[in-house]
Chains A and B, each alone.
Chain A
């Protein structure tokens, strides 16, 4: 009864603590060419934020690669025309957590309010705050200021990972329904007089898994053929040398295409389909076997069809957390948590697809294979546990399913 809400609470805490809390000290370079801020802030920054002011503009490349800026984590560029255009650009080496971003924004906003009140009005700061126009902050990766690499490619991986989770959920529920239906209509006793429980469970998981793979293959064929046909019909000149030159003189429709070109290029050029599909299949199989065993466990052990709901909720939440972890890794690809999430079997199918789409640095592909090995070992272990629970639970009817009962069944 209380397991569901407690699990939700725990997950919320985990998510909040990983996205907000950090002990890291952030060194920030505030670039203020016109010295609008006068090398000071209104209130003292927190201990983990150290601000340095310079009156020159350092572009992204200089900040990213010049030796003297290497000690800085973040640069904040106060635009020379900030009074009118309100633009502030925050660029980072490693994406700061939400609370750090918020603190930086707060400090810049407060200082700007002070300056505006001081120079342009007779209003008090609090009165001015009521009528003021907020600053426009934009966040940039200093290594990818145009946001070309990380997000689009990561989102492709995220989509692949999301598909895995979607398939795992769909076919996991198929296992659960199938097991609980055989249990509730009592045919399972007839089946068990011909085959042993482990064979029955394995057959069920593999059968549904093959059906999932057939559907996946159908998706690949349909989407692959569709993309090929699009290329032949909708984007025939996409990759011809004259395309860019002709672009200007083309009709509105072509103009629209040119706007889409980064995405089109990503779809047709950047994604390494063979690589992605092979690992998609492997992570799908591992994830499906791992999560499938949980669904089979619940199906076999529930006393009635409605009884298992309390255990389906936390399991669905785990899948949801897996999606969230993918989202987290898209934005924070290089944190310690992101690395761990890639090896935890609950999240690795999602996270590794994101990492795979971003590409692995030389010498770090072992992470991909280690993650797969951990996932498959965990899946085999969980299938063994599921086999025990299936054997003990499948012929128990009309009981109230309790966690204690499940733990006991794993031991026999």
Chain B
């Protein structure tokens, strides 16, 4: 759908983006991750033609992305902005018209979205009369009003309460079902795990990681397993001997435990089961994969160490 090819950007002799490439497929949600100042917003602005790249280019459906393609993109910038003294209705229709809708189409779409979000009563209110969360909803409606094929959302969940985060999350998954492609920049790693198909990690203008959420979590796994059981803790510990290292435990009652352990000496999960099965009653066992937050922190730290060396 969208392909970013070898994009570089410099400001005041400083490299903001260095040779970034990735693609966004149809019906995919792509997480664009990175610490503050990594270059995510600059990259989003380049894709939206707000600023130009110093090197590289962006394609849309295989063709060089031009102004005429922008009508197929919905952009929600990180710094939200609406005309404070304009009514919700006028605002939505104005921005819809800027994105190529006729007045009637903009009005019809507006009614649909206001109803969908249950906020028809706000139609005549001025933006300055709304709370931050309310204004965020209006901004989201302005972004999706023209039914774009691609959504580029910079921190779409910021400023929302948990209920509205869930609302927006559902809408994004719904867009995905409709075959729309979405790029999300976020610091909320739970959202990335829950809704993103793939993620790209950018640090100091460089692409550090890219892959599906599953691939990235596996890439950073440390061979830790979580085993829950009912039985005697001492008997369990004795059975393990030196082939396993207990790194944490949770006690659920007199004889119910969850243990986190690392395999040693090349042991596998089957070896573990054979070792403990006669001593305890196992209620659950699974491999512990790092959260996306851990993946994020580890890879950033690793890259920073390389740079400092």
Query: Hey, which bits of chain A sit against chain B, CB under 8 A?
Result: 182, 185-196, 395
Contacts known (A187-B82, A395-B45); A196 close to B67, Cβ less than 8 A: yes
**Does B125 touch A at the CB level, under 8 Å?**
no
Contacts known (A189-B50, A190-B75); A195 close to B82, Cβ less than 8 A: no
Q: Are B82 and A193 within 8 A (Cβ)?
A: no
A-B contact pairs, 12 of them (CB 8 A): A182-B81, A185-B82, A185-B83, A186-B77, A187-B82, A188-B81, A190-B75, A193-B49, A193-B50, A193-B70, A193-B75, A194-B95
Contacts known (A192-B50, A395-B51); A186 close to B80, Cβ less than 8 A: yes
Query: CA separation between A335 and B25, bound complex, in Å?
Result: 72
- CB-CB under 8 A from A185, the residues of chain B are 81-84
In the complex, besides A190-B95, A193-B50, 11 extra interface pairs with C-beta distance below 8 angstroms are A185-B83, A185-B84, A187-B81, A189-B81, A190-B75, A190-B142, A193-B77, A194-B95, A195-B98, A196-B49, A395-B45
Q: Report the minimum CB–CB distance from A183 to chain B (whole Å).
A: 9
**Does B305 touch A at the CB level, under 8 Å?**
no
The residue of chain B having its C-beta at the shortest distance from the C-beta of A188 within the complex is B81
Q: Report the minimum CB–CB distance from A72 to chain B (whole Å).
A: 66
**Does B73 touch A at the CB level, under 8 Å?**
yes
- CB-CB under 8 A from B49, the residues of chain A are 193, 196
Query: CA separation between A189 and B142, bound complex, in Å?
Result: 13
**Does B79 touch A at the CB level, under 8 Å?**
yes
**Does B48 touch A at the CB level, under 8 Å?**
yes
Q: Are B98 and A194 within 8 A (Cβ)?
A: yes
**Does B99 touch A at the CB level, under 8 Å?**
yes
- CB-CB under 8 A from B45, the residues of chain A are 189, 395
The residue of chain A having its C-beta at the shortest distance from the C-beta of B50 within the complex is A192
Query: CA separation between A185 and B139, bound complex, in Å?
Result: 13
Query: CA separation between A189 and B44, bound complex, in Å?
Result: 11
The residue of chain A having its C-beta at the shortest distance from the C-beta of B42 within the complex is A395
Query: CA separation between A188 and B50, bound complex, in Å?
Result: 10
Q: Report the minimum CB–CB distance from B191 to chain A (whole Å).
A: 22
Q: Are B79 and A194 within 8 A (Cβ)?
A: no
Q: Are A191 and B82 within 8 A (Cβ)?
A: no
Contacts known (A191-B98, A193-B49); A186 close to B79, Cβ less than 8 A: yes
- CB-CB under 8 A from A187, the residues of chain B are 81-83
Pairs of residues from A and B, 5 with the lowest C-beta to C-beta distance, nearest first: A186-B81, A187-B81, A186-B79, A193-B75, A189-B77
- CB-CB under 8 A from A196, the residues of chain B are 49, 67
Does more than half of chain B's interface fall in helix, strand or loop, or is it mixed? loop
- CB-CB under 8 A from A182, the residues of chain B are 81
A-B contact count (CB 8 A): 43
- CB-CB under 8 A from B48, the residues of chain A are 192-193
Query: CA separation between A193 and B73, bound complex, in Å?
Result: 9
Query: CA separation between A194 and B95, bound complex, in Å?
Result: 9
B90-123 toward A: CB 8 Å interface, digit per residue (1/0)?
Answer: 0000010011000000000000000000000000
- CB-CB under 8 A from A189, the residues of chain B are 45, 50, 77, 79, 81
Query: CA separation between A303 and B99, bound complex, in Å?
Result: 28
The residue of chain A having its C-beta at the shortest distance from the C-beta of B12 within the complex is A408
The residue of chain B having its C-beta at the shortest distance from the C-beta of A391 within the complex is B51
- CB-CB under 8 A from B95, the residues of chain A are 190, 194
The residue of chain B having its C-beta at the shortest distance from the C-beta of A189 within the complex is B77
- CB-CB under 8 A from A190, the residues of chain B are 75, 77, 81, 95, 142
Q: Report the minimum CB–CB distance from B144 to chain A (whole Å).
A: 13
- CB-CB under 8 A from B142, the residues of chain A are 190
B52-76 toward A: CB 8 Å interface, digit per residue (1/0)?
Answer: 0000000000000001001001010
The residue of chain B having its C-beta at the shortest distance from the C-beta of A408 within the complex is B12
Candidate in B50, B75, B79, B82 with the most chain A CB atoms within 10 angstroms: B50
Q: Report the minimum CB–CB distance from A27 to chain B (whole Å).
A: 63
The residue of chain A having its C-beta at the shortest distance from the C-beta of B152 within the complex is A193
Query: CA separation between A201 and B104, bound complex, in Å?
Result: 27
- CB-CB under 8 A from A186, the residues of chain B are 77, 79-81
Q: Report the minimum CB–CB distance from A71 to chain B (whole Å).
A: 66
Q: Are B70 and A194 within 8 A (Cβ)?
A: yes
- CB-CB under 8 A from B75, the residues of chain A are 190, 193
- CB-CB under 8 A from B80, the residues of chain A are 186
- CB-CB under 8 A from B67, the residues of chain A are 196
B27-51 toward A: CB 8 Å interface, digit per residue (1/0)?
Answer: 0000000000000000001001111
- CB-CB under 8 A from A195, the residues of chain B are 98
- CB-CB under 8 A from B99, the residues of chain A are 194
The residue of chain A having its C-beta at the shortest distance from the C-beta of B77 within the complex is A189
Q: Report the minimum CB–CB distance from B80 to chain A (whole Å).
A: 6
The residue of chain B having its C-beta at the shortest distance from the C-beta of A191 within the complex is B98
- Chain B contacts with A in 265-303, Cβ cutoff 8 A: none
Q: Report the minimum CB–CB distance from B46 to chain A (whole Å).
A: 11
Q: Report the minimum CB–CB distance from A301 to chain B (whole Å).
A: 15
Query: CA separation between A192 and B45, bound complex, in Å?
Result: 9
**A395 CB contact (under 8 Å) in B50, B70, B73, B82:** B50
Query: CA separation between A186 and B155, bound complex, in Å?
Result: 15
- Chain B contacts with A in 148-204, Cβ cutoff 8 A: none
Query: CA separation between A187 and B45, bound complex, in Å?
Result: 14
- CB-CB under 8 A from A194, the residues of chain B are 70, 95, 98-99
The residue of chain B having its C-beta at the shortest distance from the C-beta of A184 within the complex is B81
The residue of chain A having its C-beta at the shortest distance from the C-beta of B51 within the complex is A395
Query: CA separation between A185 and B70, bound complex, in Å?
Result: 22
- CB-CB under 8 A from B51, the residues of chain A are 395
Query: CA separation between A395 and B50, bound complex, in Å?
Result: 9
Query: CA separation between A169 and B80, bound complex, in Å?
Result: 31
The residue of chain B having its C-beta at the shortest distance from the C-beta of A392 within the complex is B51
- CB-CB under 8 A from A188, the residues of chain B are 81
The residue of chain A having its C-beta at the shortest distance from the C-beta of B84 within the complex is A185
Q: Report the minimum CB–CB distance from B78 to chain A (whole Å).
A: 9
- Chain B contacts with A in 238-271, Cβ cutoff 8 A: none
